[in-house]
Structure 1
Amino acid sequence: MNPRTATLILLLGCLPPSQLMAQQELEVPEMTLKRSVWQNGIGTGFAEGALSIETKLVRGLGTDQGGSRVNHDLWLGQLLLGTILMEPCRPNRWYGGNLELTGQLIGGAQDHPEPAFFVAGNVGLRYHLSAIGRVVPFLTASIGISGTDIGEPDLSGTFQFNEQVGGGLRYFLSERRAIVLEYFFQHISNGSTSLPNHGANSHMFSLGFAWLY
């Protein structure tokens, strides 16, 4: 044992046990302290900078609305990341709430009229309305680029654009955990970069789970 180590052990041995315990107790709150994701408890509006991670299972039912020649049914999975951009606006009004920036990774397949893959990356905005108890309704819209081999008669080429517009609600089981229900209308097309380009349109219904940090 070198002299420095021996000296350190001797000094620690001279400290009263109560002083060592007090030092440990002071360190514990710093390790357990967490910033709230709410202004003042569940349903009071999200804090600026709060982060969301969501996973969702999505069922799409095709429609001929918007010009599609056939119905395109899909099964998709989504991973969403979001950050609250602002403090609640108009907190005492039903339409008051928070604006959130979102990014999505989407992947899955068409199962009707024939099998085809679909992948996409989207960015968008989500507006959270005033809470009703533990329920927080929201409106959402996003746009992105995608790849698919759905093909004719409604699409051509692998590269496509996709847009989503809809709304839903989050039911908070606890301060940082929520079940997410959502409906949105999805449109896929290539922006007339090649023909045909009638578009693949679907009504989308999703069930998911959210974690907030």
Structure 2
Amino acid sequence: MQHPAVPDLSHTHTRPIHWVATATALAGVVALSSLLQPDAATAAQTGSHTTAAGPKGAPAPMAPPDPAAVSFPLECGPVKAVVQKQASGDLDGDGRPETVAVVHCDAPMGTPPDGVYVITRNADNGKPRVVATLVDPKERRTATVLAVRDGAVHATLLGYSSADVPSCCPDVTDDVKWQWKNGTFVSDTPSQARTV
């Protein structure tokens, strides 16, 4: 007698008791999983009393200051100041983020020079304010890159080798880094200025 290539599957026919057993098992798994849910995820889990704000009694993380809520020290005449770029991070090591903003006047023609400003929050009322000018618009610079990394501000600035160079065509590029040291921002240029 030769056995068929396909095994006999007559024992696999389902009966109502199979469906009842499957439904009961599935209901048990669902009920058990709802009882064994993990605690809500939190940003910082230290100690046994953790809340969504962090360890018991710790304040919630503060949002970086919003540059739109600040008046910048720019003379723009009839046009307004525009925030072109921004980056945030803790620059002075106090656990609260600062915002660095690249701002210029919204001129209808040409490329207006940028100012680079550091914004923090007042300790007493939490309102944002400008605390440092890293690049003054009078320097005729344009920031093409802005980042906050490792507690320092990094920027790529376009500029001019002399007053004779036309405003349309910056001919110098600087990669600049500012870091908070001894109560002030100190500029450190990692690479030499290079011509464009």
Q: TM-score band, normalised by the shorter chain?
A: 0.3 to 0.5
User: Larger C-alpha radius of gyration, 1 or 2?
Assistant: 2
Higher relative contact order (CA 8 A, sep 6+): 1
TM-score scaled by length of structure 2: 0.39
Between Structure 1 and Structure 2, the one with more strand by share is 1
TM-score scaled by length of structure 1: 0.36
